[in-house]
Structure formats: C-alpha cells, structure tokens
Amino acid sequence: MDLRAVRDVNNGFGEGLAAAFEMVVTPMIFAFFGFLLDRWLGLHLVFALTFGLFVFGYEMWKLVMRYSSQMAAHDASAPWARHGSPVEATGTASDD
C-alpha cells in the first residue's frame, strides 16, 4: 500500500474532525458567554441565541470559503484546467 495515500487519508480525517469540532464547540462557547451575560442582565436567552447563531453562521461561511478556495486551487492544477482565457487563445482582445 502506498504510504503517501495513507497519509493523505489520515490528514483528511484529521482536518474533517478539526472542522467539525470547531463548528460545534466554538458556537457553544460563545452561547455560554451569552448565557452568562443574559443571566447577569436578567434576560431570557437573548444574547445566548444571538452569539451562538452568529458564530455558527460565521463558522459555516468560513467552511464554505475554505472549501471553495481549496477546490479552486485543485481545479487550477488539474489537467482539464484552462491555462489562459479564451480571448488570449484567439488573440482578438484589444488593449484599449
């Protein structure tokens, strides 16, 4: 078995576990601090829900952006990637 392939699979599992842990634990930490703030101000889960949902949304956005950039880098290095724009290939662009 190819050790490089095994290493890549293990790295993929580790990165996936880290992303899942970050997506769950970080909003929980912020929701907990929001809960403490709610308790101190006498409110009913206003800051806890706001902080938790905001941070969860941020974590989802960050995950999508990371995935998009990794896929763009992968596609750029793939054999089917276009190297240069179609305008450059035909030579019909003008430099106005």
Cα 24 from chain centre? 13
CA-CA distance, 74 to 67, in Å (whole number)?
10
Q: What is the pLDDT of residues 3-28, one digit of tens each?
A: 888 888 888 888 889 989 999 999 99
pTM of the entire predicted model: 0.71
Residue range 16-64, pLDDT digits in tens: 899 899 999 999 999 999 999 999 999 999 999 999 999 999 999 999 9
Torsion of CA 75, 78, 82, 84, to 10 degrees: 90
Q: Which of 45, 26, 27 is nearest to 35 (CA)?
A: 45
Q: Which sequence spans correspond to the domains of the chain?
A: 3-77
